[in-house]
């Protein structure tokens, strides 16, 4: 069988949990053969190929992997702290360069320190540095210097997930409040 160009790179990188970025040569081949790869990953591994104009990744419905959870918590705390610092966190993630010292300052002084300490991959500076290195290997961050990096468009998977989760929580809270109000009205009637 003849496979599309860059097939091996596409399969190996995605199966390692990497995001393929639109700036990579393999991404163009993946995009051209999107339907083939959707079927290939589903039939071969039971994985769903997710694609946007900026990146591609694989999603599994069955996982016990905790890295995605740790990365989501990392972004949730970082976005909260950037916002609290008066910065537009979307602009910061999209256009700014970060350094480990700044990240450390945010995580050491966060009001969510209990969550940081309870998350093994975030509990101290060395583990946070290791987490950022894991994100680099997966194309979520790109190193620009020894302790400096930028986020790739792949960060959006995690911020979109956090936004979706926050919206669900808000809807649940609003539903509970509405139910309480209905109970009060029924008791008064």
Residues 41 and 102 reside in one and the same domain: no
Evaluate if pTM is beyond 0.85. no
The span from the CA of 38 to the CA of 52, in Å, is 13
Nearest to 129 by CA among 107, 110, 97: 107
pLDDT tens by residue, 41-97: 999 999 999 999 999 999 988 766 788 889 999 999 999 999 999 999 999 999 999
* pLDDT band per the 50, 70, 90 thresholds, residue 166: low
Q: How many domains does the chain have?
A: 2
Sort 155 into a burial class: Cβ within 10 Å, 0-12 / 13-18 / 19+: buried
Helices (H), 2-65: 7-15, 25-32, 34-45
Three-state SS for 156?
helix
Residues 72 and 51 reside in one and the same domain: no
Residues 107 and 156 reside in one and the same domain: yes
141 inside domain = yes
User: Which helix H or strand E contains 98, and what residues bound it?
Assistant: strand 97-99
182 inside domain = no
User: How many CB atoms sit inside 10 A of residue 129's CB?
Assistant: 14
Which domain covers residue 79, as residue numbers?
A: 67-163
CATH code for the domain in which residue 121 is found: 1.10.10.2260
The span from the CA of 142 to the CA of 2, in Å, is 33
pLDDT tens by residue, 169-185: 777 777 777 777 787 78
Three-state SS for 52?
coil
Residues 52 and 94 reside in one and the same domain: no
pLDDT tens by residue, 83-115: 999 999 999 999 999 999 999 999 999 999 999
pLDDT at 21: 97
């Amino acid at each position: 069988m003849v496979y599309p160009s860059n097939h091996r790179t596409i399969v190996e990188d995605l199966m390692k949990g990497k995001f393929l970025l639109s700036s990579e040569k393999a991404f163009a081949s993946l995009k051209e053969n999107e339907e083939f790869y959707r079927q290939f990953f589903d039939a071969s591994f039971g994985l769903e190929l997710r694609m946007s104009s900026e990146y591609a990744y694989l999603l599994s419905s069955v996982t016990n992997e905790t890295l995605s959870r740790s990365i989501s918590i990392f972004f949730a705390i970082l976005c909260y702290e950037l916002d609290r610092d008066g910065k537009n966190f979307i602009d910061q993630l999209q256009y700014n360069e970060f350094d480990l010292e700044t990240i450390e300052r945010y995580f050491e002084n966060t009001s969510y320190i209990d969550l940081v300490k309870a998350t093994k991959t975030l509990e101290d500076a060395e583990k946070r540095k290791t987490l950022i290195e894991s994100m680099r290997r997966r194309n979520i961050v790109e190193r620009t210097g020894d302790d400096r990096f930028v986020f790739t468009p792949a960060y959006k998977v995690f911020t979109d997930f956090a936004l979706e989760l926050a919206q669900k929580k808000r809807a649940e809270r609003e539903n509970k409040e509405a139910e309480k109000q209905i109970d009060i009205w029924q008791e008064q009637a």
